[in-house]
Amino acid sequence: MIYVCSLERVPATVEEVGAGRLLSLLAEGTLMARPARLGPEQHLLLNFHDIAEPQDGLTPPSEAHVRRILDFGEAWDALAPLVINCFAGISRSTASAYMIAAAKSPGRDEAELAQELRKLSPTATPNPRMVAMADAMLGRNGRMISAIAGIGRGAEAMEGVPFGLKLEG
C-alpha cells in the first residue's frame, strides 16, 4: 500500500501505517526530519519545486528526479507500506504515488488508476510534468498523461486529503 500525506502528517502516518520506506519531495531548504523508525536507506529526500514549467529561481522536476522516484519504488518490496509526502500532499506526492503504482502494476489501466486516485483524494492534483516524464520512461504512450488530464485539477486546499492507494485495482 502507498500512503500519501503532507509534510506535517509524516510522523503520525509513518507510525500509524508501519511504513517501511518514505519518499519526501520538498523544495530546497524545507526542514525534514526522518522518522526514527526508518534508517537512511529507507528514506529518499528529493529537492525540487512543484512547478509544471521552468521558472527563474525555482528547480523544476527533472528526468533525474523522476528516475530516482521510479527506482526507489522499484526497490520497494511492498511488504511494509510506502509513505510519500510533499509539502501539502497535493501534487508532487500524488504524482509519485501514481507513477510508482503504474510501474508496480504494468497491466493496470492508467485511467482506472487515475480515477481511483481521484476517488481517494478530492484534492489530488498530480504534477503533470512528473507524470509526463514517467509516462515516457514507462512506455505508456501518453496514456498516463491523458488519464491525469481526465481527472482534472483537484479541489483547492492548503493541505491534501491523506489517502492509501492499493497497488492492484
3-state secondary structure 98-136: HHHHHHHCCCCCHHHHHHHHHHHCCCCCCCHHHHHHHHH
pLDDT at res. 3: 98
Residue 4 has pLDDT above 90, yes or no: yes
Residue 134 CB burial class (10 angstroms; 0-12, 13-18, ≥19): buried
pLDDT at res. 89: 96
pLDDT at res. 127: 98
pLDDT at res. 23: 98
Q: What average pLDDT does this structure show over 144-148?
A: 98
Fold classification of 2-165 is: Protein-Tyrosine Phosphatase; Chain A (3.90.190)
pLDDT at res. 93: 98
For residue range 73-124, list pLDDT tens digits in order: 999 999 999 999 999 999 999 999 999 999 999 999 999 999 999 999 999 9
Name beta bridge partners: 86. Answer: 6, 25
Give the range among 3-7, 46-50, 79-83, 160-164 with minimum mean pLDDT.
160-164
pTM of the model: 0.96
Residue 169 has pLDDT above 70, yes or no: no
Phi-psi group of 78: left, alpha or beta (phi > 0 → left; psi -120 to 50 → alpha; rest → beta): left
pLDDT at res. 168: 78
pLDDT at res. 146: 98
pLDDT at res. 76: 97
Q: What is the mean pLDDT of the chain?
A: 96
